[in-house]
Amino acid sequence: MKKRIQFVLIFIFTLLISSVSMAQLTEPGDGNGGDPNGEGTPVGGGAPVGSGLALVIGLGLAYGGKKTYQSQLKNLDKV
């Protein structure tokens, strides 16, 4: 039971870290949607697009956690 609680706490901590790192703290723009000429709207609608690194790391941590949990279940079945 103690290991399960420890696993849940580590999982919640990694989820919290990944969600905090994905937060974007930007200053408000000038209202022209990123168009240098100030005319029209850009193709993407002016939404900021990141590199996706935080998303990839978060998904990797979740996948690794799942695999670790499954291997621990297999080890418990052998005992």
| pLDDT given for residue 56 in this prediction | 86
pLDDT digits (tens, 9 = 90+) for 46-65: 556 667 788 888 899 999 99
- Ranges of H-type helices in 1-79: 2-21, 53-78
Q: How far is CA 43 from CA 38, 58, 76, in A?
A: 14, 28, 54
72, 3 contact by CB (below 8 A): yes
- Residue 52 is predicted with a pLDDT of 77
**41: which residues sit within 8 A by CB, 6+ positions away?**
33, 35
At residue 45 the predicted structure's pLDDT band, cuts being 50, 70 and 90, is low
Tens digit of each residue's pLDDT (9 = 90 or more) over 4-34: 889 999 998 888 887 776 665 555 655 655 5
